[in-house]
Chains A and B, each alone.
Chain A
């Protein structure tokens, strides 16, 4: 069985992750919805032709950040359950970099919590992508990670609940 929160180099197995989340709770029968998200490597970014990406993580801190996202989701959407896997290493166009699965009794919470998870990943998880494009390469730099930044957290929640 997959751990529910993980970072690894192997291709992401969405079905396996979803099955693990199902099996992780004896009372999965109460769930009325499963929402999943796969983030893919696309072949273009900011006008550049992307060849492939390389991801790296500060793994022990990234896993703690995953646990924090899980806690935030459980507080905000009681009854929602989360599985979250991120891939690192070289990823080619079309491959999945991140897989998120949320189960909950009702679909609204599952959709919102799934969206919240990806927004929070982009804010607070120490993972970086290096883009190799036609003509060069560049580290992509997004948000300054600050898990205690309540404004950022509230913004993720706002996006999730639109």
Chain B
């Protein structure tokens, strides 16, 4: 299956793209997508413990199962206000 990955702020700078497409196997979790991404862009690894994640614009945990066509977002620590 295929998911769209959205990256923001510094994560986007590291990957050089705000949106990527990734293949995932059935039963894959958000965490699996993240680890694949961190393999492609090792600099992402230092965000492992500080990111938040979302699926289809709702916060979701790293063990959340993803489905074909999902939009998976990775969010570095926020700084609004």
Contacts and interface: CB of A to CB of B under 8 A. Distances in A.
B46 to A, nearest CB: 11
A144 B10 CA distance: 14
B50 interface: yes
A162 interface: no
The B contact surface, by secondary structure, is mixed
A98 B81 contact: yes
A122 interface: yes
Contacts of A145: 52, 59, 75, 77-78
A128 B80 contact: yes
Interface residues of A, number: 33
Contacts of A122: 78-81
Nearest to B73: A58
Interface stretch (A14-22, A27-35, A106-114, A134-142): A134-142
Interface in B21-53: 50-52
A61 B57 contact: yes
A121 B80 CA distance: 6
Contacts of B75: 58, 126, 145
A127 B58 contact: no
A77 to B, nearest CB: 20
Given A141-B10, A144-B52, A126 B78 contact: yes
Interface of B: 6, 8-10, 13, 50-52, 54, 57-59, 73, 75-81
Given A122-B78, A126-B78, A139-B13, 9 more contacts: A98-B81, A122-B79, A125-B80, A127-B78, A128-B76, A128-B80, A139-B76, A145-B77, A145-B78
Interface of A: 39, 55-58, 60-62, 64, 86, 97-98, 118, 121-130, 139-148
27 contacts: A39-B81, A57-B80, A58-B6, A58-B73, A61-B54, A62-B80, A97-B81, A98-B81, A118-B81, A121-B81, A122-B78, A124-B78, A125-B80, A126-B52, A128-B78, A128-B80, A139-B13, A139-B76, A140-B79, A141-B9, A141-B76, A141-B78, A142-B79, A143-B78, A144-B51, A144-B78, A146-B52
